[in-house]
Amino acid sequence: MARTMTSDKNKIVVGILFGGKSAEHEVSLQSAKNVYDAIDRGKYEPVLVGIDKSGKWHSTGGSLSLLNAGDPRLISLNRTGDPVVLAPESRGLLSRQERNRNPGFAAEESGFRLDVVFPILHGPFGEDGTVQGLLKLADIPFVGAGVMGSAAGMDKDVMKRLLRDAGIPIGKFLTLRSHNAVPSYDEVEAELGGTVFVKPANMGSSVGVSKVRGGAEFSRAVQEAFQYDTKIIIEEFIPCREIECAVLGNENPAASVPGEVIPAHEFYSYEAKYIDENGAALEIPAKLDKDTQNRVRDLSVRVFQTLCCEGLARVDFFLRENGELLVNEINTMPGFTKISMYPKLWEASGIGYTELIGRLIELAMERHKKERVIRISYA
């Protein structure tokens, strides 16, 4: 197994976990590249761990190996790295061959013990609490929300019900499951209006999302969304401005200046977010009066805390012409690509990319330290 670890014991070893089985795999590759490029090498030693689309883990040690890294349409994981597994008993990585040959082999002997993990994974099998649970079992600090916050933030149906029950304003929506009968478009129109959005409940980056204006479109949109999840949601179309706000922190989170997304496409699609640099204009800070800015920031923190989030999140809003503010959704591991809103919002708030990564790592280690003193047995 390749060994690229530093001999400087003062550096914090950061496992950058990226890729994954989600439809947002390519977005994760772009995010990982940016995190890797910006991380403070004087303080941190990055170890790259790419998860391919079949779920296998590969490590290239301290070097990032991507194919077509400069082209978001063609970017892919180079699977020439060593196949690795997570070793919970020693908080590190082992090559599969070494693990099979010697089950007692400790990760620290290989030099791949991890001090903290940055799981820059988007969507299912990464942002939904699955990897977070694995890292908790391995007793490794990790960036971002824990199991509860990740799962609640990923599932749009659960998220919206929790926000509604907390008295937080949201738009009208319906939930459909694959084993239930699909309502007619006329029934949906009577409930939500003539124009609606159809989305997989557990997916991000606008994957599988359709804007619907009629019965034929509705049928196709439902079929499309069900390709990505067994549960989908239908949301009312809300004429509005799209406002986003970044949150950073654990027990005492802070909100960034708000920004506005002005899509050039039909809506803020996957292509507009990650492929077409001209797919949307990002106005940061957003042109909002002081009262609206404060409402966005206060409500962002409230959403973050209601959903038990930690570390980071981006909260997205609809702002009606009459000033009414509605929460659209939360993203517990927002994109870190070069055109992503989360790092841009913090940059406009006075925290640069490299400093932001450092703060996220510190928050992860701080939380882990507090959790380790919690009693796990009765004695």
Name the pLDDT band for 72 (thresholds 50, 70, 90): confident
Which pLDDT value is given to residue 157?
97
Q: pTM for this one?
A: 0.89
CA distance 39 to 141: 17
Confidence of residue 119 (pLDDT cuts 50, 70, 90): very high
Grouping H, G, I as helix, E, B as strand and the rest as coil, residue 282 is strand
Residue identified by tokens 């993990």 is: 117
Q: Letter for the amino acid at 82? A: D
pLDDT tens digits, residue range 41-57?
A: 999 999 999 999 999 99
Residue 179 banded pLDDT, cuts 50, 70, 90: very high
Give me the pLDDT at residue 245, please: 98
CATH 3.30.470.20 fits 160-168+239-370, yes or no: yes
Q: Which CATH number fits domain 12-142: 3.40.50.20, 2.60.120.1060, 3.30.70.60, 3.50.50.60?
A: 3.40.50.20
Distance linking the first and last C-alpha atoms of the chain: 43
277 or 196, which is more confident: 196
Three-state DSSP class for residue 186: helix
* pLDDT tens profile 239-284: 999 999 999 999 999 999 999 999 776 655 555 554 556 667 899 9
Over the stretch 219-229, which tens digit does the pLDDT of each residue have?
999 999 999 99
Q: 379 falls in which pLDDT band (50, 70, 90)?
A: low
pLDDT at 62: 79
Judged against a pLDDT cut of 80, whether residue 13 lies above it is answered with yes
Neighbours of 7 (CB within 10 A): 7
Sequence spans of domains, the chain: 12-142, 160-168+239-370, 172-236
pLDDT above 80: residue 100: no
Identify the pLDDT of residue 377. 65
CATH 3.40.50.1820 fits 172-236, yes or no: no
